[in-house]
Amino acid sequence: MRIFIALPFAALLAGCQVNKDEANDSVSVTYNGDIAENVAADVANTAENIAADIGNDVERTGEKIDNRVGDRDQAGNAVENR
């Protein structure tokens, strides 16, 4: 869950480009909004896929619970499905 806090900062940092000019002994930092936007879109897609996977897992677990609860005879005894 902590990763979601760091993801926006990672997107910002991904847009930064650092260039070192040896001849002038200088360093320049530029911000490329297109790269940052692409990284942010990738992060959003990944988060959406993770959320969908979690939702699917919860649904399957719920179905398993329903099946286990439904596997009882009239006296309340557990019945195995084979």
How much is the pLDDT for 77?
60
Helices marked H in the chain = 2-14, 33-70
Whether residue 14 lies inside any domain: the answer is yes
E strand segments, the chain: 16-21, 26-31
Dist CA 60 CA 62 (whole Å): 5
Can you give the residue range of the structural domain that contains 35? 2-68
Whether residue 44 lies inside any domain: the answer is yes
Tokens of 17: 């480009």
How much is the pLDDT for 4?
61
pTM above 0.75, yes or no: no
The number of domains in the chain is 1
Whether residue 75 lies inside any domain: the answer is no
Tokens of 22: 């040896």
Dist CA 12 CA 35 (whole Å): 9
- Beta bridge partners of residue 19, listed in sequence order: 28
Whether residue 27 lies inside any domain: the answer is yes
Average pLDDT per consecutive 10 residues, the chain (82 residues; last block may be shorter) = 64 76 85 81 86 91 74 58 51
